[in-house]
Amino acid sequence: MKAGEFCSRFRTDISDKLRTSSENMEKSLNDSISGTKIGKYFKLQARKTSFTTELQAATATFLTMVYIITVNATILSDSGGTCTVSDCTPPPSNHTTAVAPPDCMLKPNIGYDQCVSKIKKDLIVATSLSSMIGSIAMGAFANLPLALAPGMGPNAYLAYNLVGFHGSGSISYQTAMAIVLVESSVFLAIAVFGLRARLSRFIPRSVRLASAAGIGLFIAFVGLQGNQGVGLIGPDPDTLVTLAACTRKNAITGACIGGNMQSPTFWLGLVGFLITCYGLMKDIKGSMIMGILSVTLISWIRHTSVSIFPDTPLGDTRYQYFKKIVEFHKIESTLGAISFTSFNQSEVWVALFTLLYVDILATTGTLYTMAELGGFTDEKGRFQGEYISYMVDAGSSIVGSTMGVTPIATFIESSAGIREGGRTGLTAIIVGFYFLLSIFFIPLFSSVPPWAIGPSLVIVGAMMMKVIKDIDWNNIKEGVPAFVTILLMPLTYSISNGIIGGIGMYIALSLFDYGVGLFNWLIKMKKMVLKDQNQVSAIVAADRMVEVL
């Protein structure tokens, strides 16, 4: 035997022995855990799975949804959180009593920007902590491989519709959190009494489907703007919006004044967008985080045109915090930031209805989709843990609201873990522990730039558009309300306006059918009355004839 053949066979034998040994160790570990109380509680053998399979599934799920930590914190911090005018740095003045102007929150201001940066750190911890609590509760009580986190859609609605960018809306952040708390409590009551399915039927099917698509467009629109995304779209005094990605802007209006389509951060964000799309095309796990991470790593390089740490006092402060890498940050500003003093405003109750409606539909749709994908449903569409899962979802939202985040939802990214073989609550519990670990890396998560997050918002919006294929566009009564819903959400920058407009249009178009039905009923009743009168006349005439005879 030649030396080369001997070495090749030797390497093959060693490789086979190592693989066999690894497989035996894995099998021994799985068998030992399956026979314990934990294994029996989670029904590992009954659901034909194992601990290592659940671990692999949890890793896949976490990698596909870890982007929510940064994305959610960025969106919610755009509202300014609990920051006010008092946090602004006053302009230079010879007087010691100088105060900042009321519009300081909408312009670059060192004091206010530092406050928002602190809010973002709070929200990163709150997002991770609420996701951990929701995921572990779902796994422990419902025994389902479903991970929970603050949902996309409600966070954008709260940040840009209710509170407004940097507090420019009609509702304060504290009031918005009170709305989330009340809405979650109502949802919990609905879940306890089993009224969820009945309430969801009150909304026309076309509007329900269109709401998801409309919210997707709204989120994508946010991801294309400058403050929250890649900056492709900007304001225009004549056409309201226009193509931007410029290098110079008007400090007051934000409109481009030069260098359109020349922004280096936009082109870097586009690269991240393509990386994510390529990964999704090839069904690569963690494609979303790959796109965000690639752009973020480049943006962490100082002294470049795309750096998140510019050569300014604020950039230097950010960089010094970033270099810590590991730090435990306490939730301070957003913890318990709840106020019920403004509940006499009509906007509060509209927001409450909108969040409740979106929460019910999103949770119902996602849970049933995941249950069908995992093969948990029976012939009637029911599945084990269904009743508990709704209460876990609502209960997690209540906890999340006290920490300053929007309603917690079951994430569609749980499908990645289910495809990897996740079948029990162990998957969700392990995902929860991954979120726990992320709490200690706040300096890294808080340094992700908006042009790295914007592409992911656009992709999430694209994914949410797929529901429009289920709308009956040939039926005007179904198609027009759906179109109005989808159209109004991004164009009026309001999710609630889209829902109200769609429902209103459906009711208006239904009035015609009701009118025609009422008209036909009146004609039918008239014919019946005339028929009865003719019968009475005939009887009277017959009686008279008998009398004459």
The predicted pLDDT at position 153 comes to 79
Considering only CA atoms, which of 477, 133, 502 is closest in space to residue 354?
502
Report CA Rg, the chain: 29
Distance of alpha carbon 453 from alpha carbon 460, whole angstroms:
11
Distance of alpha carbon 382 from alpha carbon 388, whole angstroms:
12
Q: Which two tokens stand for residue 453?
A: 């997050």
Q: Give me the tens of pLDDT residue by residue for the chain, a chain 549 residues long.
A: 555 565 666 566 666 666 676 677 778 888 888 888 888 999 888 888 889 889 988 988 887 788 889 889 988 999 999 999 888 888 776 445 567 787 888 888 888 988 998 999 999 999 999 999 999 999 999 999 999 999 887 888 899 889 998 998 889 999 999 999 999 999 999 888 877 656 656 778 888 788 878 878 888 888 898 766 898 998 888 888 888 888 888 766 678 887 888 999 999 999 999 998 998 898 886 787 788 889 999 999 999 999 999 988 878 888 998 988 888 888 989 999 999 998 988 889 989 988 887 787 777 767 876 777 777 877 666 778 888 998 999 999 999 999 999 999 888 778 778 877 889 999 999 999 999 999 998 888 888 888 988 888 888 888 888 888 889 999 999 999 999 999 998 888 777 788 888 889 999 998 887 777 777 777 877 777 777 666 656 666 666 666 665
Distance of alpha carbon 306 from alpha carbon 212, whole angstroms:
33
DSSP 8-state assignment for residue 89: P
Find tokens 């959400």 and name the residue: 489
Distance of alpha carbon 528 from alpha carbon 521, whole angstroms:
10
Phi-psi region of 101 (alpha: psi -120 to 50; beta: other; left: phi over 0): beta
The predicted pLDDT at position 222 comes to 82
Question: Using an 8 Å Cβ cutoff, are 236 and 257 in contact?
Answer: no
Question: Using an 8 Å Cβ cutoff, are 203 and 195 in contact?
Answer: no
- The residue type found at 478 is E
The predicted pLDDT at position 206 comes to 86
HEC per residue, 233-256: EEEECCCEEEECCCCEECCCCCCE
User: Residue 393, Cα to own-chain centre: how many angstroms?
Assistant: 14
HEC per residue, 154-193: HHHHHHHHHCCHHHCCCCCHHHHHHHHHHHHHHHHHHHHC
The predicted pLDDT at position 101 comes to 80
The predicted pLDDT at position 9 comes to 65
The predicted pLDDT at position 123 comes to 95
Q: What is the three-class DSSP state of 458?
A: helix
Q: Which two tokens stand for residue 132?
A: 């951990």
Q: Which two tokens stand for residue 432?
A: 């929860």
Q: Which residues contact 26 (CB under 8 A, 6 or more apart)?
A: 52
